[in-house]
Structure 1
Amino acid sequence: MKLKKLAKVLLVSTLAVGLLTGCSSGSKDDKTIKVGASPTPHAEILEAAKPLLEKEGYKLEVSTYDDYVLPNDALADGSLDANYFQHIPYLEETVKEKGYDLTYCAKVHIEPMGIYSNSIKKLDEVKNGDKVAVPNDSTNEARALKLLAKQGLIEVKDGELITVKDITKNPKNLKFVEVDAAQVPSTLDDVAIAVINTNYALNVGLNPTKDALAIESSDSPYVNIVAIRTEEKDNDKIKALTKALNSDEVKKFIEEKYDGSIVPAF
């Protein structure tokens, strides 16, 4: 009888230790916010928010990604608590395509897409048959084509997710090179002009307000947002992340760090 009683005591003690350990681990996880981000400017902006989150008792862990696919995959499978690299149309397209239950909790900044060149100084120098590099993902390609159309280089159909197949007029017979958004800067020596997302332009030392031949207007609808799983929208740490990224301190950091090439959206 004593052995049985001792076994029961040991079992209860083991369970209690397990529960306490589990609670401790869960508490630690609840105070750690894992965010995936593009290196520039997103990860830099997150670094500016870190001290604010630390004051609220949270540890911010930032993982950087050089593509536009993996961060949403990692968010959907629970590897990340949030990601910060994309605009609303891209998130909506990903949700539609993959069926992920994702939404966003904060609008942070706008990155005006620009047209760049290593060979010409003005867009009227573009010649017949020149090559033009554009991103190959649906939302950013549409965005690039609309910018080119606004500059009078082409005409396109109305619509959100237009592609090169929707070009209705191409008076200079431009040849379009469609590549991954992160790789567009690497094409600059091989094309006449390239339409580059600001984060990738900054990565290679290009300043949109100084180096671009043309950029999107400041009222661009492509606001960069913090994406989260829909079920987590009322989570305390998500609320803390939103508060930090929409703070006066982060706004001041964006304005001073990027000197107008990136604009706060809050």
Structure 2
Amino acid sequence: MKKGWKTVVSGILTVGALALLGACGSGNTADSGSASGDEPRVVKLGVVGESNEAWEHVQKELKENENIDLEIVKFTDYRAPITSLEDGSIDMHSTLTEIFMDNVNEEGGFSNTTIAYTSLNPLGIFSNKIGDISELEDGATVAIPNDVSNESRALLLLQTAGLIELDEAAGLMPSVNDVTANPKNLQFEILDANQTIRALDDVDIACVNNNVAVDAGYIPTETAIYLEPVAESSQPYYNVIAVREDEKDEEIYQTIVDYYQTDEVKEIIAEVTKGSSVPVW
């Protein structure tokens, strides 16, 4: 504007300018996540399996109260949510044990980071052929998951059940190579985690992840012939809510955690899993 230029503003222009300023002052930001009529903030949550009643409850509550559109993205294997979070396909995931996630992080150089815990889902030993662990015969076949952390967890469970002994030096991450005593000469069938329950007709026993068993229609507390005990040593097997490391302090993710960690969600977990999953917050 040139110096000395006299500005003449008509009444019409004044009204128009004020209206324009008013429009600019009511800007619409998707990041606000408020319930004031703005566009909802979309957050993609990765899960594994079909039984997601707790998160479906949270999804509804967030939409109604916070204008957050929680999109539940289902995967069929445990590594996929980790790599999908890393490449930005999803924003967070809630389906994995911390020990499994940390192991995959280390292998791949990933930054998946725990921001909260959800539940402990005890691993179980299942069978279509025997009703008690004491009935297991010599030379029996045992299906165990093939990923490092779940294989280790299964072997530790078999040790707790008195079926094998493991090298103490292996700590929480033993493999079949660390079996130091196998009095029943058990034969190990190492399968993808979601295939262990499907192998029950072909093996004598199977070590099955809790959510895999529930998705297949089993109630671990009622149908497992041996269930992983819950103790202080169980913490590495707590399931987590995770995001990328550089987003761990984002307020919207803490809001989602707050809506999950409620008494209502505890009741849903208890009802859906028949008490097989234990909330740990």
TM-score range, shorter chain: 0.7 to 0.9
Does the 8 A contact of 1:110 with 1:265 survive in 2?
yes
Aligned-residue Cα RMSD (Å) equals: 1.9
Unaligned stretches of 5+ residues in structure 1: 1-22
1:218-251: CA deviations, max 9, x gaps? 2222111111101111112211111111122212
Same amino acid, percent of matched pairs: 37
For the structure 1 residues 154 and 147, does the alpha-carbon distance in structure 2 shift closer, same or farther, using more than 3 Å as the test? same
- 2:201 corresponds to: 189
State whether structure 2 residue 243 is matched by structure 1 residue 257: no
Shifted more, 26-35 versus 91-100: the winner is 26-35
- 2:5 corresponds to: none
State whether structure 2 residue 130 is matched by structure 1 residue 115: no
1:155-204: CA deviations, max 9, x gaps? 11121111110000001111000011011111101100000001000111
Q: 1:206 aligns with which of 195, 218, 222?
A: 218
- 2:58 corresponds to: 49
Distance (Å, rounded) in 2 between the aligned partners of 1:39 and 1:191:
23
- 1:142 corresponds to: 152
Distance (Å, rounded) in 2 between the aligned partners of 1:53 and 1:112:
29
- Using the size of structure 1 for normalisation, the TM-score is 0.87
- Using the size of structure 2 for normalisation, the TM-score is 0.83
Shift of 1:52: 2.4
What amino acid is aligned across from residue 210 of structure 1 in structure 2? E
1:31-68: CA deviations, max 9, x gaps? 11100101244x32210211221211211100111101
Q: Output aligned runs, 1:165-176, within 5 Å.
A: 165-176=177-188
- 2:84 corresponds to: 74
Structure of larger gyration radius: 2
Q: 1:32 aligns with which of 32, 42, 66?
A: 42
Runs of 4+ in 1 over 3 A off after TM superposition: 23-30
Does the 8 A contact of 2:30 with 2:41 survive in 1?
no
1:106-136: CA deviations, max 9, x gaps? 1011101000000111111111111100001
What amino acid is aligned across from residue 196 of structure 1 in structure 2? V
Does the 8 A contact of 2:124 with 2:220 survive in 1?
yes
State whether structure 2 residue 239 is matched by structure 1 residue 224: yes
- 1:131 corresponds to: 141
Higher relative CO (Cα under 8 Å, sequence separation at least 6) belongs to: 1
For the structure 1 residues 98 and 83, does the alpha-carbon distance in structure 2 shift closer, same or farther, using more than 3 Å as the test? same
What amino acid is aligned across from residue 248 of structure 1 in structure 2? D
What amino acid is aligned across from residue 191 of structure 2 in structure 1? V
Q: What secondary structure, in the 3-state scheme, does the structure 1 residue paired with 2:242 have?
A: strand
Distance (Å, rounded) in 2 between the aligned partners of 1:230 and 1:247:
25
Q: What secondary structure, in the 3-state scheme, does the structure 1 residue paired with 2:254 have?
A: helix
Does the 8 A contact of 1:40 with 1:200 survive in 2?
no
* Higher relative helix content: 1
What amino acid is aligned across from residue 164 of structure 1 in structure 2? V
Aligned residue-pair number:
245
